[in-house]
């Protein structure tokens, strides 16, 4: 379906907003390239820069990689006005398709003055979650997008949009990452810790050209097998390594062990995005640690 067709599906939209639409791409979310991510952020910044009357934007995405796209935009859209990322868990040909309802709620959030300054948000199932914190937790259920540990930012009810809190970490208008001059982002790979995991995989990623590594460790930073050897190989080659947790929530404490970087409470796939953008500016470990402490 095109952007125009999607907008035409939304009931009573004119009650809340005057919609405009633009077709950026029409592929499955897992087929989007990193170059398209950059192009989308550049386009959103361009529209915000040239249209002072625009209240906010809605970006539609397939749900499989929606949280990654949302967090990338959270770090690269340089405007306080909202970007609401929406999707649907059911196909339009399926009984119970909720896409039109999610789109309506996305438009309501993007048009609401209270959404300004809250960063990029994910709007599905009448809930508003922060792009930095939200995770897809179920492959099929409608309530899949959740913020473990912190809870929703707000909800979209029949009478109004209601917010309960803000995200304290830097984002959007306060971000230092400028994609205007970026054509591609550095390669960063994610490796998982499991019993007896081989450090050869980390070494292979470095040898294949990875400029950064994220390890989804067990618990609060534990690795297994020969992964420590792999990390030492990477850091000796000047490749920064970020430690995150595979647990689904929780924080890696401190700045990092030795030459590694603590990924704080970021999910591994989001730590990858921050490291990719950080590496467009610097390879200095102290600066990268600062970024993970601030974003």
pLDDT at res. 257: 63
Give the residue-averaged pLDDT of 12-37.
94
Q: Selecting from 3.40.50.40, 3.40.50.300, 3.40.718.10, 3.90.650.10, what CATH number does the domain 188-294 have? A: 3.40.50.40
| Domain range 3-174, CATH architecture | 3-Layer(aba) Sandwich (3.40)
For the chain, helix, strand, coil in percent to 5 are 35, 15, 50
Q: What ranges do the domains of the chain cover?
A: 3-174, 188-294
pLDDT tens per residue across span 169-227? 999 999 999 999 888 899 999 999 999 999 999 999 999 999 999 999 999 999 999 99
pLDDT at res. 256: 63
pLDDT tens per residue across span 239-254? 999 999 999 999 998 8
Q: Considering the chain, what is the average pLDDT of its residues?
A: 96
Nearest to 244 by CA among 276, 213, 268: 268
Give the residue-averaged pLDDT of 82-108.
95
pLDDT tens per residue across span 49-88? 999 999 999 999 999 999 999 999 999 999 999 999 999 9
Measured N-to-C along each axis, helices 66-76 and 34-50 cross at an angle, to the nearest 10 degrees, of 50
pLDDT tens per residue across span 124-139? 999 999 999 999 999 9
- Answer whether 3-174 and 188-294 agree in fold: yes
Q: What is the model's pTM?
A: 0.96
Q: Give the C-alpha distances (Å, rounded to integers) separating 190 from 31, 55, 216.
A: 18, 37, 7
d(CA 53, CA 56): 9
């Amino acid at each position: 379906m095109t952007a125009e067709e999607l907008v035409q599906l939304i009931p009573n939209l004119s009650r809340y907003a005057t919609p405009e639409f633009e077709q950026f791409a029409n592929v499955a979310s897992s087929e989007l390239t990193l170059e398209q991510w950059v192009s989308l952020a550049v386009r959103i910044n361009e529209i915000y820069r040239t249209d002072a009357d625009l209240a906010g934007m809605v970006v539609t995405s397939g749900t499989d990689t929606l949280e990654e796209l949302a967090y990338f935009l959270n770090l690269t859209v340089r405007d306080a006005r909202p970007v609401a990322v929406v999707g649907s868990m059911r196909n339009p040909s399926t009984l119970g398709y909720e896409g039109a309802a999610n789109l309506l709620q996305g438009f309501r959030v993007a048009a609401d003055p209270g959404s300004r300054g809250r960063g990029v948000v994910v709007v599905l199932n009448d809930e508003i979650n922060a792009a930095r914190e939200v995770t897809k937790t179920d492959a099929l259920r409608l309530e899949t997008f959740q913020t473990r540990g912190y809870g929703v930012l707000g909800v979209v009810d029949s009478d109004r949009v209601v917010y309960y809190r803000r995200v304290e970490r830097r984002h959007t208008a306060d971000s230092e990452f400028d994609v205007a001059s970026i054509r591609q982002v550095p390669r960063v790979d994610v490796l998982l810790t499991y019993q007896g995991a081989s450090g050869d995989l980390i070494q292979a990623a470095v040898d294949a050209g990875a400029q950064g590594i994220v390890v989804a460790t067990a618990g609060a930073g534990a690795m297994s097998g020969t992964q420590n050897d792999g990390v030492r190989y990477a850091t000796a080659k000047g490749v920064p390594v970020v430690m995150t947790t595979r647990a689904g929530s929780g924080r890696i404490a401190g700045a990092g062990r030795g030459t590694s970087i603590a990924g704080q409470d970021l999910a591994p796939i989001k730590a990858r995005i921050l490291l990719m953008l950080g590496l467009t500016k610097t390879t200095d470990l102290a600066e990268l640690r600062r970024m993970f402490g601030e974003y």
